[in-house]
Amino acid sequence: MSPPLLQVNDLKKHFPVKTGLFSRKSEFVYAVDGVSLEIARGETLSLVGESGCGKSTVGRAILRLFDITSGQVILDGKRIDDAAPGTMRQMRRRVQVVFQDPFSSLNPRMRVRDILAEPIRNFGLAKSAEDLEVRVTALMDTVRLPREALNRRPHEFSGGQRQRIGIARALAAEPELIVCDEAVSALDVSVKAQIVNLLQDLQSEFGLALLFISHDLAIVEHMTHRVAVMYLGKIVEVAPRRDIFAAPRHPYTKALLSAVPLPEPGAQRNPIILKGDVPSPINPPSGCRFHTRCPFVFDRCRTEEPTLRVAGAEQWVACHLEEGAPTAA
């Protein structure tokens, strides 16, 4: 088996927070607290969970938009979490991002031509001015936008078209991995489907790996190879798509999936309503972080943190129930 394109080992990102004007106590938001994952070349891994679970922080740590607290991020066998600026420049070319809001991530004063030319120039990919022009027009064809639109500015496009420009800009750097951070969340349902189809086509055409960060499991179900479920800064379950949607194991995954609408008209799942709110990541619960809301909680859950264990051929679950413990409170 070939080594993974991306490997994240025990990643932690704790953000310091001020607790009061005169307080000497330091507190931290435990945004990501020991996340490990792998992505193979050409694979889509979806990172899912409720808002605030830390999934976007994982994406931003991989992009090295900030320094991590501890752990390792390894791209193609080389650590990038502590890479020197020279090495990091090449790594940045290989890992690109598409953000949720294409309007705020595209410079409104720049024409599309210049937006697409910028990464090509920055990474020295064009051999000549002619080559630059060929690459820019080819990117428009690739994301199915008219070439005449190259001279327009972002505000002249619809939300879906702007997201196509964001994807073209990511592709301009010839990446191997694209982090899609809620990349379709702000779009209408029909436009969402078009952008997801485009991402899938691009993946097959260019052999891209995708880290697809989303809270929308209905979309994830149609486009991913594997799913990693996050809760309060930790991964609680990882599995191939077919396993996680057909037979989720972790109580939190089951609750999340129970809210996903079924495709057949009139068909309904039995929704699992979780009690309470997601606890604060400043003061996460002891033991299993899900214990304050879990319908199956028992004593051990309150004191002992479950680790990810093999639960199927390629399925990993962090829950004491996987160790033969009681199945009801």
Enumerate residues 6+ apart whose C-beta is below 8 A from 246. none
In this complex, which beta carbon is closest to ligand SF4, that of residue 205 or of residue 299?
299
CB of 296 to ligand SF4, least distance (A): 4
CB of 288 to ligand SF4, least distance (A): 3
Using DSSP's 3-state secondary structure scheme, residue 299 falls into helix
> From the DSSP assignment, how many helices (H) and strands (E) are in the chain?
11, 12
CB of 236 to ligand SF4, least distance (A): 7
**Strand ranges inside the chain, DSSP E:** 6-17, 27-39, 44-48, 70-75, 78-79, 95-98, 177-181, 209-214, 226-231, 234-240, 309-310, 316-317
In this complex, which beta carbon is closest to ligand SF4, that of residue 151 or of residue 303?
303
In this complex, which beta carbon is closest to ligand SF4, that of residue 93 or of residue 250?
250
CB of 107 to ligand SF4, least distance (A): 45
Residues near ligand SF4, by CB under 6 A? 251, 288, 290-291, 294, 296-297, 301, 306, 319-321
Burial class of residue 154 (count of CB atoms within 10 Å of its CB; 0-12, 13-18, 19+): buried
CB of 50 to ligand SF4, least distance (A): 15
User: Are 180 and 95 contacting, i.e. CB atoms less than 8 angstroms apart?
Assistant: no
In this complex, which beta carbon is closest to ligand SF4, that of residue 60 or of residue 320?
320
In this complex, which beta carbon is closest to ligand SF4, that of residue 59 or of residue 251?
251
Note the Cα 25 to chain centre separation in Å.
33
